[in-house]
Structure 1
């Protein structure tokens, strides 16, 4: 079943000013909801209430697709998602303010311990439900095709390469007419999983140039800061010579750089992002339902794009509130389903998760208890 966008409606939640709130406005007999349910569970049609999540702004477009599709099988459920950023989403979930978090980075050891405590001492699930390339976006008139090797990209963002006609950039682009325009690197000003993924890539592929650890908070002074994915895009759009990093689905009309991988330069795509994730390993030492992934940033395989974010949904296996647990179980079941992944791909251009990730995720969904 492919969900029709013509039957979807959106409404802002009054409770969350910056929240993307999505709800069905149709009657309960609309679209045969009693026969089709999230993740194949016909009981979803009988659910009602509000499910609140918060986190990664990169998931915002995908969340539109998921929430709209979910209302076709659970028409009396409203899904509210606040794209406050990955760090804020993890914090709100750990503090008990939301039922789940969206995050472009998996929980660190300290956060994982706190999340387990928030979950009553039980297991935490981390499901890699959204896979998307991080595009290096730029605003440079006359340059429609741009190649950047890892060391050059690191030099741009650490401030050591300052003009677009620098010799290092010219070496990657021998046929380009590069202007002498000053470079303005734009980074996230909020605690961001996109930043953590981007700095992790720089540190692993250009360690002699990028000497800082991976971090959700931008580690250097200088450049221009902007909050959220939309803030970075707006800042790059507004500044001639600007360059930034953002979920590829939000690149719009900006230039998008090809990134050096081995002997090639690879453009970001859903297929190239999925390929590198498929060849990456799970993080060791996590819980039974924790499927955090250590992305292979140093790949040299043609067709793999290593600046990729694997964005997670994070929640509890055991919920004290029975109604909340039922909503989480049903929604996550829909998100990992083929229909749910197609809805995200249609809305955000993301890469559908593999059958392996779906099967792993289903074990966590099946284990979610309420009450």
Structure 2
């Protein structure tokens, strides 16, 4: 699959670019090109969103390059893209720098998905893993698949005397940051590392992007990694311990985490960043909330209208269902959508008010 997705279709009817957008994100006479880059976890969803939006707006071209969250934030802050995607909300320094570019930053959750613990182990289709066990595996303290700690939660599984090969992201990644944050919050001393988008443990196998991790796990035997669940494919996925049960990932269980979480305070009216609640029973605890980034004000009115219209479609009921159907994500709730729409509707440019 090429690094950038570009979809453009046909010609559009004439009309003013600043006409009110319709419920499906379309507007009369929309035309032009906008470019985005960022989280590779959003790749499948972005492809579906772009196809859906441009089918209604055939004189529009939208490009999205899934270079990873870190690169996406850097390019957006530097002004190299019109919108961005990131699996971790902007930190204080990034937010300040983005504000210099944008005046005010629009930061909204657009894609909610479980992060699956994926594995490839001949003869083993199901696996239960407690948070501490996951931490020790990825911290390379548990190194064999028949380790007593793994066997204790999988008593009926024939676990081989085989080396565990953990696979992590080589690039700065919001998926990594979410996964590491989960380990840090739920496993105590078993995970002594700082939360970061850069993988903190040397010596494992590293791969570029979500697709790279999935491919590396698939190509090995005894491999284990972490990846957006929508891209897990035929790989085994572990059930994760939450309280006294082991929970299988699902979009619904992932969405429940966001609904239980609190917004980060003091970031401006158009920033909807969340500190996630990762230990609530009945939810899948390793969840990725991926954000869309935009400016509240653009120099170019046409760019502003395209970004506003596209993001309106992305968070719409239709757009969220499109992502669910094509990328396995969890649609955001109606109540959250109602909070996000005013921030999107306020996007303007070129002297627009």
Alpha carbons of 1:38 and 1:79: their partners in 2 closer, same or farther (altered >3 Å)? Answer: farther
Structure 2 Cα separation of the partners of residues 174 and 273 of structure 1: 28
Alpha carbons of 1:230 and 1:40: their partners in 2 closer, same or farther (altered >3 Å)? Answer: closer
- What is the CA RMSD across the aligned residues, in angstroms? 1.6
- Which string of whole-angstrom CA distances, capped at 9 and with x for unpartnered residues, describes residues 190-241 of structure 1? 0100000000000000121001121100011111000000000010011100
Shift of residue 165, structure 1, vs aligned partner: 0.2
Verify: 1:20 aligned to 2:5, yes or no.
Answer: yes
- Which string of whole-angstrom CA distances, capped at 9 and with x for unpartnered residues, describes residues 134-188 of structure 1? 0000000111110000000000000000000001101111111111110000000
- Which string of whole-angstrom CA distances, capped at 9 and with x for unpartnered residues, describes residues 331-364 of structure 1? 0111111111111111101000111221111011
After TM superposition, the score normalised by the length of structure 1 is 0.90
Summarize the alignment of residues 327-366 of structure 1 with structure 2, pairs less than 5 Å apart: 327-366=306-345
After TM superposition, the score normalised by the length of structure 2 is 0.95
Runs of 4+ with deviation above 4 angstroms: 35-38
Summarize the alignment of residues 100-111 of structure 1 with structure 2, pairs less than 5 Å apart: 100-111=83-94
Structure 2 Cα separation of the partners of residues 28 and 102 of structure 1: 27
The number of aligned residues is 345
In structure 1, the partner of 2:28 is 45
Is the CA contact 2:25–2:313 (under 8 Å) kept in the aligned structure 1?
A: no
Shift of residue 321, structure 1, vs aligned partner: 1.3
Among 118, 125, 147, the alignment partner of 1:166 is 147
Summarize the alignment of residues 1-371 of structure 1 with structure 2, pairs less than 5 Å apart: 18-24=3-9, 26-28=10-12, 38-39=22-23, 44-119=27-102, 122-299=103-280, 301-302=281-282, 304-371=283-350
Structure 1 Cα separation of the partners of residues 21 and 303 of structure 2: 17
Alpha carbons of 1:170 and 1:344: their partners in 2 closer, same or farther (altered >3 Å)? Answer: same
In structure 2, the partner of 1:4 is none
Alpha carbons of 1:38 and 1:171: their partners in 2 closer, same or farther (altered >3 Å)? Answer: farther
Structure 1 Cα separation of the partners of residues 7 and 227 of structure 2: 24
List runs of 5+ in structure 1 lacking aligned partners: 1-11, 30-34
- Which string of whole-angstrom CA distances, capped at 9 and with x for unpartnered residues, describes residues 29-59 of structure 1? 7xxxxx99553566x2311111100000000
- Which string of whole-angstrom CA distances, capped at 9 and with x for unpartnered residues, describes residues 47-103 of structure 1? 111110000000000001100110122111011000000000000000000001100
Shift of residue 118, structure 1, vs aligned partner: 1.2
